[in-house]
Amino acid sequence: MIPKVNLPADARLDTLAVREGLPATPWGENSEALFLTSSFVHPDAATAARRFANEEEAFVYSRFGNPTTMMMERRLAAMEGTEACIGTSSGMAAIMITLMALLKSGDHVICSQSVFGSTIKLIQSEFGKFGVQSSFVSQTDPAAWAAAVQPNTKLLFAETPSNPLTEVCDIAALADIAHRAGALLVVDNCFCSPALQQPIKFGADLIIHSGTKYLDGQGRVIAGAVCGSTELIEGKFVPVMRSAGMSLSPFNAWVVLKGLETLGIRMRAQSASALALAQWLETVPGIDRVYHPGLASHPQHALAMTQQSGQGGAVVSFIVKGGREGAWAMIDGTRICSITANLGDTKTTITHPSSTSHGRLTETQRLAAGVVQGLVRVAVGLEDLDDLKADLVRGLQAE
């Protein structure tokens, strides 16, 4: 039996973020240890046999169990309010293990048409090859999801808020549709993280994370995780991990583990800066439209405030004049923002979604997702807000 940390049962998110994990080793280290070991040693052959047969809980091999990875999993599960979590080598690996664990040939998935581009490719092309059917529907219209349900529907897949337009879907409404169809609801919680949104509270069954984003929070590693019930994680996901091996490296798990300690404080600060920037952008001449869930002008503002602890998140998108050329000139005119499609960093990033994150989609798919050529996305970091405003002004003047 692997012991637990002795925490009060009512410990809150910011406390869990710093304290949940595994008890310290006999050396009494205060910062969590990094266990860089591929395998674990057993006291004798009989114990080894029991551990391999899952009759005794212990660490065996880091492809499917490592103390540092387990600390990250326990901490993230506690923060999401789920029983269990499994770390994966990337956010995409988290989605892949979910599809592998829950689907077979002939099954049907309903997915928002506004999810991460690689998620659409993975479901439609890669799993389509193995006979998994899929329908892509409106992010914001639960009736469209209900209408897409088929007798073989096993999974509903949502991401909220979406990238880059921050469209919000109604998690409780989708959970209801999924459960009435005997299916499960999976929510990609990348953009809010558990610091702002806990999808399990609204009825989601599984929560996907790209640890690469806000969980690490400083743009250092690629990592992922799936959170859910012990029944699903232990019963369906761990066996796939054991045979398929999309494992999270202990080093990357340690970086995410330490990143989680500052998640709450970072998310609140970056979200507040993003809202201030969005409100200011709405007053800047030459900007056609600004997208941020914290704006009163956002079409799902009220729903977002309910689901996201009253906060909009750190991503702001806006449409500049002049299409692709206008957007590229604006991006190239900035000096502080990093030109990269990544997000969830303390460094503010700026990107042109239609030629980067959404570049592999067809123009029709892009327009269905609302990703026009003039759209620019900023993922706000921790720089001084006035310096960021000045940087965007520099960009707009170059446009």
The phi and psi torsions of 316 (rounded to 5 degrees) equal -125, 135
* Least distance to ligand PLP, CB of residue 217, Å: 13
Under rule CB under 6 A, residue 92 binds ligand PLP: yes
Stretch that binds ligand PLP, among 85-93, 196-204, 277-285, 348-356 (CB under 6 A): 85-93
Under rule CB under 6 A, residue 220 binds ligand PLP: no
Identity (one letter) of the amino acid at 111? C
Q: Find residue 207's DSSP bridge partners.
A: 187, 227
Q: Of these, 66, 69, 82, 90, which contacts ligand PLP (CB under 6 A)?
A: 90
If the CB atoms of residues 138 and 340 are measured against ligand PLP, the closer one turns out to be: 340
Contact set for ligand PLP, span 233-252 (CB under 6 A) = none
Under rule CB under 6 A, residue 188 binds ligand PLP: yes
CA distances from 181 to 145, 172, 178, 184 (A): 11, 14, 5, 9
* Length, in residues, of the chain: 399
Under rule CB under 6 A, residue 202 binds ligand PLP: no
Stretch that binds ligand PLP, among 33-41, 90-98, 139-147, 310-318 (CB under 6 A): 90-98
Q: Of these, 134, 153, 212, 252, which contacts ligand PLP (CB under 6 A)?
A: 212
* Least distance to ligand PLP, CB of residue 162, Å: 8
Under rule CB under 6 A, residue 32 binds ligand PLP: no
* Least distance to ligand PLP, CB of residue 255, Å: 13
* Least distance to ligand PLP, CB of residue 211, Å: 7
Q: Which helix (H) or strand (E) holds 290?
A: strand 287-291
Cβ neighbors of 12 (< 8 A, separation 6 or more) are none
Under rule CB under 6 A, residue 210 binds ligand PLP: yes
Cβ neighbors of 327 (< 8 A, separation 6 or more) are 320, 352, 373, 374, 375, 376
Cβ neighbors of 131 (< 8 A, separation 6 or more) are 105, 106
Binding mask 125-164 for ligand PLP (x = CB under 6 A): ----------------------------------x---x-
Distance CA 97, CA 351 (A): 29
* Least distance to ligand PLP, CB of residue 229, Å: 21
Tokens of 294: 């914290």
If the CB atoms of residues 202 and 214 are measured against ligand PLP, the closer one turns out to be: 214
Under rule CB under 6 A, residue 354 binds ligand PLP: no
> How big is the site for ligand PLP, counted in residues (CB under 6 A)?
13
Distance CA 106, CA 125 (A): 14
With left for phi above 0 and alpha for psi between -120 and 50, is residue 309 left, alpha or beta?
left
If the CB atoms of residues 60 and 225 are measured against ligand PLP, the closer one turns out to be: 225
* Least distance to ligand PLP, CB of residue 303, Å: 18
Q: Find residue 88's DSSP bridge partners.
A: 224
* Least distance to ligand PLP, CB of residue 275, Å: 20
| Residue carrying structure tokens 């999810």 | 115
Under rule CB under 6 A, residue 349 binds ligand PLP: no
Residue with the closest Cβ to ligand PLP? 91
Question: Quick one: how many helices (H) and strands (E) in the chain?
Answer: 16, 12
Q: Which helix (H) or strand (E) holds 67?
A: helix 67-80
User: Residue 123 gets which letter from DSSP?
Assistant: I
- 286 C-beta neighbours (distance < 10 Å), count: 13
Q: Of these, 91, 259, 312, 395, which contacts ligand PLP (CB under 6 A)?
A: 91
DSSP E strands in 178-286: the ranges are 184-188, 206-210, 224-228
Residues in the site for ligand PLP, rule: CB under 6 A?
Answer: 90-92, 116, 159, 163, 188, 190, 210, 212-213, 222, 224
